Structure 1
Amino acid sequence: MCADTPETPEYKSTLNLPKTDFPMRAGLPKREPAWLERWEQIGVYDRLREKQGRTPFILHDGPPYANGHLHIGHALNKTIKDMIVRSHQMMGFDARYVPGWDCHGLPIEWKIEEQYRNKGKDKDEVPVIDFRQECRKFAEGWVDIQREEFKRLGITGNWVNPYLTMDYHAEAVIAGEFQKFLMNGTLYQGSKPVMWSPVEKTALAEAEIEYHDHKSHTIWVKFPITQAIGPTGADVGLQGVDVVIWTTTAWTIPSNRAIAFNPALSYGLYKVTAAPDGNWAKKGDHYLLADNLAADVMKSAKVDEFVRKRDIPAEQLDLISCAHPFKGVDGGEGEWDYKVPMLPGDHVTDEAGTGFVHTAPSHGADDYVLGVKHGLQMTYNVIEDGSFRADLPLFGGEVIITPKGKEGGANTTIINKLAEISALIARGRVTHSYPHSWRSKAPVIFRNTPQWFAAVDREIADGMDQYGDTIRQRALTSIDELVKWTPQTGRNRLFSMIEARPDWVLSRQRAWGVPLTCFVKKDTLPTAPDFLLRDEAVNARVIEAFEAEGADAWYVEGAKERFLGSDYNADEWEQVFDVLDVWFDSGSTHAFVLRDREDGAPDGIADVYMEGTDQHRGWFHSSLLQACGTKGRAPYRNVVTHGFTLDAKGNKMSKSLGNTIVPEKIVQQYGADILRLWVAQTDYTADQRIGPEILKGVADSYRRLRNTMRFMLGALSDFTEVDRIEDPADMPPLERWVMSRMAELDEVVRKGYAEFDFQGVFSAVFNFATVDLSSFYFDIRKDVLYCDGDSTRRRAARTVLDLLFHRLTTWLAPVLVFTMEEVWLERFPGAQSSVHLVDFPETPASWRNSQNEENVARVRRVRRVVTSALEIQRRDKVIGSSLEAAPVVHVEDAETRRLMALVDMDDVCITSGLTVSADPAPDEAFRMPDITGVAVVFEMAEGEKCQRCWKILPDVGQHAHLGVCGRCNDALN
């Protein structure tokens, strides 16, 4: 009876076909919220905390700002943190995660003011405590919104009890940390130029600045030489000569106090010999200029011809004095009747300008340093709204930057006055990178104001000098000796910043924040020893009040008398009402989170701080300075940095460009796991790109992984311990190879997660799952799994699949938190079951067998040649399936032939038969250029097609069961 006659039994029901309800279509957007609810119901995070005897691992959360919906940078940041926490938990640590929020500061205050402006209200007429309460309420609302958005991304943590910088205890600790600076002598009040926002009317830190192209006025201004004394004391004849400066900040000219030059540059005296009629630079004018810039200056001044008269040596420049351009100008009222000295400065270059730098100590960092060194007088010409003081002659009330962030009339008025008095030789416009407030997006100015500073080079006598006795020394030592940097470039960036940074500006002229809880003596200079009140009892009363009432206690009527108590006459002291820079708030979080909380760090030091690269000048920076001032060292052991997220073309995301990618939209379309998988696939240490096509590629990778997991679930549907083979030695070589690869991969995964290399981990696991397993091992073992009876081969394969299941689900769980939970529950359903409650399984090193891996690699190379040869036959319609073939494989290498004899090569190549030959291959045999010594001669399989396994074999039809081969006959029995 032929195998394909109607009488042939239907054998499909006798196959061990995969059984699983696990769908290929994930439906993540709809299904993920149910898993979130489940984790909350069974208390996964709290149950993990109950595991005893584990070493704590603490990632300290850099607080996002409680202001607005999440952007893609938030999603990247929190997902990386989550993968760090989850992977370390599954490696046996007690990996706690306390999410936090930055709640004080200008962005929130700005929003409330904006609401006031829309309602026609004046902020200054609202009681300060009422205003602060509105800011608090605004922050609370956004904390709740962002918390749900973060949770939707699958982020684990103590969401029930996060930290907020506006919590009463946090405010008390921030004040207490500030008081440590007060008591250890690093706090002082100084008057120096800081970046000032006229729009927001407050000083800004470097971390609050972003740089944008800005079009500025440029002017070349003459400063007449009034005195030029040579080395012998004699006049050197430079009367009638002008020193020419170039500046892009015309508004600072009224505050000029000196001109800087660089002794290392070459200078000369230049004479204009020809110029157009009516030109500002006239024939016969004499200018001092840097030699490398003279031609450019003359070109800008529209000079037709000029000559260099002679050298002007540096020792001569040092003895020159000039007059201010506005000296003697009618209406100037003697404001500028002073000498303008020439001073040496290394910051002067001959790359642009004139080689001479106009110096206004009140309006520039380099200018200030030079001014302090040479005792120049500070000016206070610009007030907080960005206008000149009303009594400044000629320019009183002129506005530099308007309340709307636009240019006022100050620049133009000053330039016009300079032109009127013939003090200009040229003017123009230049587009250059200029600092702007990252909140208002308006330009800022350098403005000299009294501010509170922490001295970074002042010796601290606090007994914590193991790593240095100044903040700077402790910070630099911490960077190099106590902290590991990922990537290492983060170390270099922060080190150079700390090495060169000035004293830390702590004060802000705002209302929503923690006040500088200190008192100053009235009518006393800031340099006097008794200017600041340093009293532990006063400090303690402040902290006690803040713990009970929050920082609002500072603003309550009678607060000064309450805190000073009976020990001091309140009339002799002034209460400081500036608030702390919010970077001091977030820099202090190590104290009220790591030190004070039960789920903090045992020694108050975090294992990891992880933020974007901009935080080298932000949170990493301020936390380092703050901790070095109060605990003597960095508050972290590892600093991990990620780059910025760009669009698919590599452009910065911008609402105006319409290229923003919103996490919520990705979650709605694909599900959070796809977003998380994108994070895992990127090199987060550099800038990353994201866009629709990129996400489609990620989704394709996800589908391939999901298919791998589905295959395992189907094959393991009824697997029990009875089916297990305990000793790998009892398994076929192919299974031993898979176990060896698992042992190898376990090491890669653990090392990668420990080093925060998620891209490396995912790449290794993904390639293993899709290439080694799906395309090779699973492809080969389908026949055994489906068609064998209770054979050793099948039991070994299912044992290995079980081992694979436990490793792949846990290795991938920190990345695909929802999908791996779905996979886990499909196999291990239960009210309290979760993949996130288990650890990475221990994988014995004894499984590793590098020789077996090499052996299988040899067999795989042969398989490639065979499958490529059969593909040609399939393409040419000679065969429809590889099971129709029984090729002859000519192999030159005897060791390879020996290895092929140890495995079922027809199974490996998915053919019905396969013959290995040591004979020389005929010329027509198929070969591959990159695999030598292997050639394939195609032969059709002989026999009948088994109606159960579909192999074509000679013995089909010769057994008790109709139309089957011997192997299937045994299985049916």
Structure 2
Amino acid sequence: MTDYRSTVFLPKTDFPMKAGLPQKEPGILAKWQAADLYRQLRESRAGREKFILHDGPPYANGDMHIGHALNHILKDMVVRTQTLLGKDAPYVPGWDCHGLPIEWKVEEQYRKKKLNKDEVPAVEFRAECRAYAQHWVDTQREQLKRLGINGDWDKPYLTMDFDSEATIVAELMKFAESGQLYRGAKPVMWSPVEKTALAEAEVEYEDIVSTQIDVAFEIVDSPIEELKGAYAVIWTTTPWTIPVNQALAYGPEVDYVLLATDLVEIHSGDTRSNYYLVAAELGQAFADRCFPHAALRLVKEIKGTDLAHTIARHPMHHLGGFFARPRPFLAGDFVTTEQGTGLVHMAPDHGEDDFELCKLNEIEPVFAVEGDGKYSENWTWLGGQGSVINPKFNAPDGPICTDLREAGALLAASADYKHSYPHSWRSKAKLIFRATPQWFIAMDEVLEEDDDVTPAEAGAALGFGAQSTEVPASAGTTLRDRALAAIAQTRFIPPKGENRIRAMVEGRPDWVISRQRAWGVPITLFVNKMTGQYMVDEHVNERIVAAIRERGVDAWNAEDAAALLGGGHDPDAFEMVTDILDVWFDSGCTHAFVLESGKWPELRWPADLYLEGSDQHRGWFQSSLMESCGTRGRAPYDAVLTHGFTMASDGKKMSKSLGNTVDPLKVMEQYGADIIRLWALSVDFTEDHRIGDEILRGVADGYRKLRNTFRYLLGALEGFSEAERVDAAAMPELERYILHRVHTLDGVLRRAIDDFDFNTYTRALADFANDDLSAFFFDIRKDSLYCEAADAPTRMAYRTTLDALFHALVRWAAPILVFTAEEVWNTRYPGASSVHLLDWPVIGNWHNAALGERWDRLRAIRGVVLGEIEPLRREKIIGSGLEADVTVIAYDLADKVLLTGVNLSELAIVAKAEICTGDGALASGDASSVADIRVEAKKTEYEKCERCWRHLPEVEPEGLCARCESVIASNPVAPAQAGA
């Protein structure tokens, strides 16, 4: 038997099937860095339409985790696809460097050394915080670069850069100058462990079990005679707030009842009849908790509105002073009958509703609980004791309940109430609401209009950078109004993000921007000791900003107060604010010191897109919105894209304690960065999604299929030259159909980019490579590629189409598989510039709807044919479809006409294909996956050509078909194999 292998045009390429990504990718990355690929991109796109994605700053604290990886891969995909479309899409990464997480870590180092942080000079402590942050910036930067993220890594933005800190201070001054900033005492989320206020975005909620108590407040005066001497009962799960109670709240629309029980034991051992006031709807639950073995009788039904002017006294009134003051009944719309007793005790120090209602009635906080969670030393009841979040302190046998029991006021107490409770996401400690003097930005302060100021002047006054063209929203609106208007003008992907942030903005309280810590941007205000008002002096502000720009946050210190104030102000008449800014204010200002500063001239304000996790609706998205609307009248972004959270493969939240975390650094060591990228861009990232070993193995399998597609293209195109190129119009229908599919895919991918739908983008590309190419086009045309003459029209048309496919696919895949695409490109074009400098592929006018519809039907019929052949292969009657004869019975005349117009044996890769017309209708039992078609298959009787392996009628045993004889006669050795 003759060996014809040397006469066959087999694909030839050095591109390996085994990727070896973990070993190969670092070398490609080093090549990009040496060539300064990012700068090359900036130069190549200079002057083109811009697309600005502004990077939200991750926290400089710890190694990159899978959430970081997903977030930055998505950002990189945005930037790369926009760049591929020909736009100038720079990417400046950044980090959030101030605040409690870093300070807490540095304090931990002190605690390990048994040192007291408060004994270290502030300048020295801040220097350690700065060094700690810089270490993690440098660490995360290298980790993110390893993911293939292309950006200005040599010049990232840091909130701790002196220029950044100075701009943050300047932005604060704008709020001060416009009157939106004020100091007030309101309850805020407070961490007794970290001794500072926290923002809602720094809070997480966990289930806890608390002590629930029912406490009786004796009514001493009321317009309702029966209430005098009775007891108003309140229910609470925070016993520690009873020592700061100042009033009771009732629901005006709630119906109440006065209930009586006999023979109630009092502390002294006496027993007497008592009356208790509770909501009618909650009366039975009250009785079950407090008097499970006694009968209660109804004394009187009372409307909530009739409780006005009722006065009670505190259970500890015998202590005198604060506790001897009357406790008025106040009407509160927030009082419900969902649980408790329908009466709520009011502690304005420790609740938002409490604070607002008491403020309306001229009742002020007393600041009894200190920053460490203990009562003040001079507080009459429990002074110096605590911490108030300690379960033992609040327990039924703890000091609070014990004293209330001795006073005859504790009706019930049990440590069994399970509920959700706020915790610090850093220390994991429970939080409290605590009223302290803080700095706030008002949400509902109406700004005055100035008829003498033009819109341009107003824009300049509100801080527009030189590149900005927007002007503020109309004056006379509040920050809340402007923020809501900006939300309406912003595109949200997915759309549900708009409702989420809108609801948050509609209901949010004033923005508390102060923190009581050391590592952060100071609130650079001088407050008049006599009036309590902060100074607004543009010259002083200019000196402060200049000093911060020169020396950073350390420039704000008492020693420099006189120099900052200048000769016109007496330093002794002012106090320097020692609080620092909330880090969310820092990050909310990034648009100002990154997009507007001119430090990165390739950027502009506003950004086209902000992209972060869905938790940032209450975090960075919102703080940026508030800051920009307060100073510029609009959002700093035109669109907001949010992604969900990455869960373990079983859908559970990742946790180190559960051992179900996935470390992207280890994944890159095992699989390579392109596998993580392919995973991130394959999932529906707008929702919570999963990752795990099995999922990653599936992704790796999908990657191998894509890699094999590129390997086939490279091998099949070996030696391709312009002399082979065929005009699309002169190609066979199959090639024109594939080009039509490319045209269709082009539209799908463009729409996906516009919608930031990278799941669709990635899957459409993979499906095209697998279904349209590998399983269909390549499968059919491999015979022409291998066995036809080099100058055969069909083979040249095929190779021309493969060239078009190569240039389209390698570009389309480049934003996803950044390393692999570079490897593919350089394999075909050694020494060429990077694939990532290329533009979107040029797609010809290949759309042909009629041809597409015709071949879609042919593919469907082909699928039925292959399905009928498969049983013969499974039963080993035949080795491949080339050994099969098929008869296709068409019950629809259109199908008969369609099939007679093509070479079905070539299309289905069989020995012989016969087309018949079916009589009548296709029996239901014979129905196949394609209507009106039935297929019969059997083993062919034709002999096999020893060169192309086709079974044809003219082939003699161990002989060749007519085509192969002709090819060998003209070219006995295939050019691609010559010299091999």
**Normalising by the residue count of structure 2, what TM-score does the alignment of the two structures yield?**
0.93
| Alignment partners' CA distance in 1, 2:270 and 2:47 | 82
Distance 1:214 1:923 in 2: 67
Q: Partner residue of 2:144?
A: 150
**Residue 38 (structure 2) aligns with:** 45
Task: State the partner residue of 1:74.
Answer: 68
Match of 2:556, SS state, is: helix
CA contact (8 A) 2:186 2:436 kept: yes
Structure 1 position 927, deviation (Å): 4.8
What is the distance in 2 between the residues matched to 1:432 and 1:563? 50
Cα deviation, 1:616-674, whole Å, max 9, x if unaligned, reads 11100111111111111110011011111111111111111111111111111111111
Assess, with a 3 A threshold, how the Cα gap between structure 1 residues 121 and 922 changes in structure 2: closer, same or farther: closer
How far 1:401 sits from its partner (Å)? 4.7
1:540-570: CA deviation from partner (whole Å, max 9, x where unpaired): 0111111111111113x52101100101111
Between the aligned partners of 1:515 and 1:922, the Cα distance in structure 2 is 84
Asked whether the equivalents of residues 273 and 307 of structure 1 are also in contact (C-alpha less than 8 Å), the reply is no
> Cα 1:811–1:407, aligned 2, differ >3 Å: closer, same or farther?
farther
For residues 937 and 213 of structure 1, do their structure 2 counterparts lie closer, same or farther at Cα, with a shift above 3 Å needed?
closer
* TM superposition shift of 1:119: 1.4
Displacement after TM superposition at 1:31 (Å): 1.0
Q: Does 1:243 align with 2:232?
A: yes
C-alpha deviation, 1:457, in angstroms: 1.0
Q: 1:186 to 1:919 in 2, by over 3 A?
A: closer
Which residue does the alignment assign to 1:828? 829
**Is residue 2:521 matched to residue 1:514?**
yes
In structure 1, the residue matched to 2:974 is none
Alignment of 1:317-466 (within 5 A): 317-328=307-318, 332-401=319-388, 408=393, 412-429=398-415, 430-461=417-448, 463=458, 464-466=472-474
Which residue in the other structure is 1:929 paired with? 928
- Residue 469 of structure 1 corresponds to which residue in structure 2? 477
Percentage of matched positions with identical amino acids: 48
Corresponding position: 1:227 with 2:218: no
Q: Whole-Å Cα distance in 2 between the matches of residues 860 and 797 of structure 1? A: 18
2:148 match: secondary structure: coil
The one-letter code sitting in structure 2 at the alignment partner of 1:857 is D
Question: In the alignment, residue 758 of structure 1 is paired with which amino acid?
Answer: F
Structure 1 residue aligned with 2:452: none
- 2:394, 2:401 within 8 Å by CA — same for their partners in 1? no
Which position in structure 1 is the counterpart of 2:507?
500
For residues 637 and 824 of structure 2, what CA distance do their matches in structure 1 show?
36
- 1:234-279 Cα deviation digits (max 9, x unpaired): xx23222100000111111111111111112221111125779999
Partner of 2:726: 725
The answer to whether the 8 Å contact 1:869/1:936 transfers is yes
Question: How far apart in 1 are the matches of 2:90 and 2:937?
Answer: 61
Partner of 2:963: 967
Q: Which amino acid aligns with 1:965?
A: C
Q: Name the SS of the counterpart of 2:322 in structure 1.
A: coil
Distance in 2 between residues matched to 1:406 and 1:354, nearest whole Å: 23
AA paired with 2:962? Answer: G
Q: Secondary structure at the match of 2:858?
A: helix
The answer on whether the counterparts of 2:448 and 2:475 sit within 8 Å (CA) in structure 1 is no
Correspondence 1:609 to 2:610? yes
Find the aligned partners of 2:392 and 2:36 in 1 and give their Cα distance. Answer: 57
**Pick aligned residue for 1:532 from 512, 527, 534:** 534
For residues 861 and 268 of structure 2, what CA distance do their matches in structure 1 show? 86
SS in 2 for 1:820: helix
Matching residue's letter, 1:314: G
AA matched with 1:931: V
User: Structure 1 residues 242-251 or 461-470, which shifts more?
Assistant: 461-470
Distance 2:395 2:572 in 1: 41
Structure 1 position 888, deviation (Å): 2.3
TM-superposed CA distance for 1:968, in Å, is 1.4
Of 540, 543, 546, the residue aligned with 1:541 is 543
Distance 1:473 1:924, change over 3 A: closer
Where do residues 540-619 of structure 1 align in structure 2 (5 Å cutoff)? 540-555=542-557, 558-599=559-600, 603-619=604-620
In the TM superposition, what whole-angstrom CA distance separates every residue of 1:654-705 from its partner, at most 9, and x where no partner exists? 1111111111111111111111111111111111111111111111111111
Residue in 1 that maps onto 2:187: 193
Contact in 2 for aligned 1:213/1:431 (Cα 8 Å): yes
Q: State the one-letter code of the partner of 2:496.
A: T
Query: Is the alpha carbon distance of 1:829 and 1:206 closer, same or farther for their aligned partners in structure 2, counting shifts above 3 Å?
Result: same
**For residues 326 and 279 of structure 1, what CA distance do their matches in structure 2 show?**
16
SS in 1 for 2:149: coil
Partners of 2:267 and 2:408 within 8 A in 1: no
Query: What is the identity, as a one-letter code, of the residue corresponding to 1:359?
Result: M
Quote the Cα distance in structure 2 between the aligned partners of 1:605 and 1:130: 37
Residue 901 of structure 1 corresponds to 900
2:292 maps to 303
The equivalent residue for 2:761 is: 761
For 1:923 and 1:130, how far apart are their aligned partners in 2? 88
Aligned positions of 1:809-824 closer than 5 A = 809-824=810-825
CA 391–84 in structure 1, closer or farther in 2 if over 3 Å, else same: same
- Check the 8 A contact 1:515/1:554 in 2, yes or no: yes
For residue 33 of structure 1, the aligned residue among 13, 26, 29 is 26
- Structure 1 residues 771 and 872: CA distance shift in structure 2, 3 A: same
Give ranges in structure 2 of 5+ residues lacking alignment: 450-457, 459-471, 971-980
Aligned pair in 2 of structure 1 residues 734, 295: CA closer, same or farther (>3 Å)?
A: same
Q: In structure 1, what is the Cα distance between the partners aligned to 2:395 and 2:579?
A: 28
Q: Tell me, what secondary structure is at the counterpart of 1:636? A: coil
Contact 1:211 1:436 in 2 (8 A): yes
The 2-side partners of 1:320 and 1:406 are apart by 33
- After TM superposition, list the pairs within 5 Å mapping 1:844-859 onto structure 2: 844=844, 846-859=845-858
Measure the CA separation in 2 of the matches of 1:309 and 1:479.
Answer: 54
Aligned to 1:204: 198
Contact 2:440 2:510 in 1 (8 A): yes
**Amino acid corresponding to residue 294 of structure 1 in structure 2:** G
Please state if 1:774 is matched with 2:771: no
Q: What's the CA shift for 1:912?
A: 2.0
Question: What TM-score do you get using the length of structure 1 for normalisation?
Answer: 0.94
- Counterpart position of 1:312: 302
**Per-residue displacement from partner, 1:799-853 (whole Å, max 9, x unpaired)?**
11111111111112111111111111111121x5221111211323x31112111
CA distance in 2, matches of 1:177, 1:737: 59
Structure 1 residue 35, shift from structure 2 partner: 1.0
Alignment check: 8 A CA contact 1:865 1:928 kept: no
Aligned mates of 1:345, 1:215 — CA distance in 2? 27
One-letter amino acid matched to 2:833: S
Cα 1:563–1:925 shift into 2, 3 Å: closer
Residue 383 of structure 1 deviates from its aligned partner by 1.0
Sort the Cα spacing of 1:701 and 1:130 in 2 relative to 1 into closer, same or farther, 3 A. Answer: same
3-state DSSP of counterpart to 1:246: strand
CA gap of 1:943–1:496, structure 2 versus 1, over 3 A, is closer
Aligned with 1:335: secondary structure? helix
> What is the correspondence of 1:150-299 to structure 2 with a 5 Å cutoff?
150-230=144-224, 236-273=225-262, 284-299=273-288
Alpha-carbon contact 2:911-2:942 (below 8 Å) kept: no
Q: Which residue of 2 aligns with 1:3?
A: none
Distance 1:739 1:58 in 2: 33
CA distance in 2, matches of 1:23, 1:759: 27
Provide Cα deviations, 1:267-297, integer angstroms capped at 9, x if missing partner. Answer: 1111125779999997722111111111111
Q: Secondary structure at the match of 2:227?
A: coil
The number of residue pairs the alignment matches comes to: 943
Cα 1:255–1:714 shift into 2, 3 Å: same
Tell me, yes or no, if structure 1 residue 56 matches structure 2 residue 50. Answer: yes
Write out aligned runs for 1:87-126 (5 A).
Answer: 87-126=81-120
